[in-house]
Amino acid sequence: MIDLEDKELIEMLRNPLQREEGFRILINLYKKRLYWHIRTLVLLHDDADDVLQNTFIKIYRNIDKFRGDSALFTWMFRIATNESLSLLKTRAKKMNQSFEDVQEERVRNLKSDPYFDGDELELSLHEAIIKLPEKQQMVFRMKYFQEMKYEEMSKILGTSVGALKASYHHAKKKIESRILKNAEG
Amino acid sequence: MKETDENRKGFRVPEAYFESLDTRLMTRLKADSKKGLKVPEGYFEEFEVKPPRNRPEVKNLIWLAAAASILLFFGIQYMDTNQKPLDWSDLEQEEISSWIESDLTDLNAYDIAEAYPEVELNAPNLSNEELNTYLNETELDQILYEN
């Protein structure tokens, strides 16, 4: 499951003498992919930065527990997903709101995020995404924003390629219909 | 706008954000380790709140617990089945002063029970109602100063 590059990296991370160097390599190899995954889930840059840092710290501290049953990126991607969803759920709990309410609020706040330059159409897209069931949201984001291949998504989400294609297709249809409806209304 | 690693579908990142990430993370890791306060590995993952044992009617028992903790704390060294039951008059002024000075006033019955697991606390020969009445009419501070 682990390719050679990952194997060497893990050995470096587990060796106290090479840990720091290994961690720098790991960060520089995966920071952009993890960031963009996190950003499309939490939407706001400041939160994405917090989650990305927490994700790397957890990876660093738990590398000894990584058994190699999946690729290193898959493992890290799951940690990043979990951290992102935890942040949203924690915020929901703190504000005594539902998960959906917090997502809606984030889309509304996107306009004031200094690191979002999207137009009305892009805002409308985000409004439509958060109306989807959680799994469809995830599939759509991974495909649309990260342009991830179905085979890779399948390994990360543990879902068959066929089911992922169907899920993306349904999500796309629902989003198109909602955006059109918004434009007409 | 052309998409780059710093700009995707309306989202962008601050200038040089990715370039400085590894340095910021290393600084954070070092700062964390310098704090010197560590928890055992897996502590937070396995953390659970242990429910208090046998804690019915907490509201009614809170005064009872406070009084019992004071008696138990002072009386623990004298506890002997052959001795007469412990009484407030058994407490020496010096012991009370030492108890207050040692910041032990925040101890509760559960803390003491944890510290002395081998000691069984017998219920005082008073009904809850009698004890509540007494404690409600008496300031705890006064009990401490009067003895």
For residue range A129-141, what is the model confidence (pLDDT) as tens digits? Answer: 999 998 999 999 9
Whether A120 contacts chain B with CB within 8 A: no
Chain A residues whose beta carbon lies within 8 Å of the beta carbon of residue B24: 53
* CATH 1.10.1740.10 domain locations along chain A: 1-117
For the cut 50, the answer to whether the pLDDT of residue B146 exceeds it is no
Confidence of residue B122 (pLDDT cuts 50, 70, 90): low
- pLDDT mean over A116-125: 91
Of all helices (H) and strands (E), which one includes residue A45?
helix A45-62
Residue of A nearest to B13 (CA): A115
- pLDDT mean over A18-47: 94
CATH architecture of A1-117: Orthogonal Bundle (1.10)
* CATH 1.10.10.10 domain locations along chain A: 118-185
Residues B104 and B99: their CA atoms lie apart, in Å, by: 6
B59 or A113, which is more confident? A113
Confidence of residue A88 (pLDDT cuts 50, 70, 90): very high
A155 or B128, which is more confident? A155
| pLDDT value, residue B131 | 76
pLDDT tens for each residue of B61-71: 666 667 776 66
Residues A149 and A33: their CA atoms lie apart, in Å, by: 13
Do A66 and A9 meet the contact criterion of CB atoms below 8 Å apart?
no
Do B91 and B74 meet the contact criterion of CB atoms below 8 Å apart?
yes
Do B11 and A119 count as a contact with CB atoms less than 8 A apart?
A: no
For the cut 70, the answer to whether the pLDDT of residue A4 exceeds it is no
For the cut 70, the answer to whether the pLDDT of residue B37 exceeds it is no
- pLDDT mean over B96-109: 61
Whether A115 contacts chain B with CB within 8 A: yes
Q: Which fold has domain A118-185?
A: Arc Repressor Mutant, subunit A (1.10.10)
Residues A79 and A56: their CA atoms lie apart, in Å, by: 9
Chain A residues whose beta carbon lies within 8 Å of the beta carbon of residue B35: none
| pLDDT value, residue B141 | 45
For the cut 70, the answer to whether the pLDDT of residue B74 exceeds it is no
Whether A32 contacts chain B with CB within 8 A: yes
Give Cβ neighbours of residue A138 (< 8 Å, ≥ 6 apart).
A81, A157
Nearest Cα residue to A165 out of A149, A179, A178, A177: A149
- pLDDT mean over B83-110: 63
- pLDDT mean over B20-43: 78
Q: H-type helices in B2-139, by residue range?
A: 17-34, 43-46, 58-75, 93-101, 109-115, 128-137
Whether A109 contacts chain B with CB within 8 A: no
- pLDDT mean over B91-107: 63
**What residue ranges do the domains of chain B occupy?**
7-46, 58-146
